[in-house]
Structure 1
Amino acid sequence: MGKQKKVIIITDGDEYARKTIDYLANQLGGTSLSELTNNPSKVPPEKVLQAVHEAKQEPVYVLIDDAGVQGVGFGEKILSSLAEDPKIEIIGAIAVAAHTKNMEWCRFTFAIDNEGNQIPYGVDKKGIPIPEVGRINGDTIYLLDQLDLPLVIAIGDIGKMDGKDDIKKGSPVTRKALEIIFERGGLT
């Protein structure tokens, strides 16, 4: 088997997330597939797989989002297809918090709060710690629990967090999460 494409999963696909990941891919390197996502994701998994295989630079950032819809949506289908492809290695995931009404959750390696601190507690959409240790409520994230990923980092809403992850500030929380995945995934 040839070299596997290194992929980072981001469980958010709204406009802020797309712009932030495009910006950070330009800063850190890699290929953002933000044009293939939305809120919710609607692109067939086959198209995402093809784009990953054709990406010129690694890592490849894949944004998935089911907009709070319960059950298996396109986001989960995309994630499942990526995980099953032997030519793809998911080196980490950023699990983005959502409102607790969603009731989907996953375990994570650690979280990064809106001040940039690594913590064992979950965070809410604003990146504020919640009293839940080791798990986060979110959208399109329950499937992360079923995969054997080397690193899952929980953060608040990408590009937002009451302005603390604003792209004008360099999106420091999202950037830190990506830099840690880069380091542990052998990309630095």
Structure 2
Amino acid sequence: MKKRVILVTDGDLNAKKAIEIATQKIGGRVISRSAGNPTLLSGEEIIELIKETPYDPVVVMVDDRGNTHRGSGEEAMAQILKSNDVEVMGVVAVAANSSRVTGVEVDVSIDNQGNVIDYAVDKDGYAKDDKIIKGDTVDILNDYDVPVIVGVGDVGKMEGQDDVEFGAPIITKALEEVIKLYETKKKINK
């Protein structure tokens, strides 16, 4: 059986700590070595690590470190998205203050109060007036048929609302929402 994977488009130190806590809360395993600002491992290397873990789902971090062009995080994500060795459940698309990007449409977002909303959010987790989340590592998602995209603000931050001291509640909720929406879509498509 293929390992189920959730990709998160953030990988700095704050995000890494928050994602590790959130993944533990959902009973999954995070590939901590996928963290980095920018991502240092290739998609192939990350896929091998995914296949080695006995847990499910597996959470992977990808980050372009502000590079608005196709950076190492997006390259790794592309390799994972097109791999036949894993089953990508969805992506937590993280907002950034990126201006020269297209952005990607979200299914839903989690705002900085932990609410599931039908709009995208900004870096601080506030609702926008459209469904397009803008971040430095999200444009490539437009090239793939991603089952679920959940938007969030800056992981581990959002004006303290996603702090690890509070148990990283926003990223936790985002991972839970990816799983929930993915399972719902699978049932509908059966």
Query: TM-score, normalising length from structure 2?
Result: 0.91
Instruction: Work out which of the residue numbers 20, 41, 66 in structure 1 matches 2:64.
Output: 66
Q: Tell me the number of residue pairs that the alignment of Structure 1 and Structure 2 aligns.
A: 184
| Alignment match, 1:129 | 127
- Matched AA of 2:46: V
The Cα of 1:45 is off from its aligned counterpart by 2.0
Pick which of 26-35 and 48-57 moved more. 26-35
- Matched AA of 1:50: E
Pick which of 143-152 and 9-18 moved more. 143-152
The Cα of 1:158 is off from its aligned counterpart by 0.6
Q: Percent identity between the aligned chains?
A: 35
Query: TM-score, normalising length from structure 1?
Result: 0.92
Instruction: Work out which of the residue numbers 112, 115, 119 in structure 2 matches 1:114.
Output: 112
> What RMSD in Å do the two structures reach over aligned CA positions?
1.6
Instruction: Work out which of the residue numbers 154, 161, 164 in structure 1 matches 2:161.
Output: 164
* Separation of aligned partners in 2, 1:121 and 1:36: 28
Instruction: Note the residue ranges of structure 2 that are not aligned, 5 or more in a row.
Output: 184-190
| Alignment match, 1:83 | 81
Name the one with the larger strand percent: 1
| Alignment match, 1:155 | 152
The Cα of 1:144 is off from its aligned counterpart by 1.3
> Where do residues 1-188 of structure 1 align in structure 2 (5 Å cutoff)?
3-131=1-129, 133-186=130-183
Instruction: Note the residue ranges of structure 1 that are not aligned, 5 or more in a row.
Output: none
Q: Render the CA deviation track for 1:128-173: whole Å, top value 9, x for unaligned.
A: 1122x11111011011122111110001011100011111112111
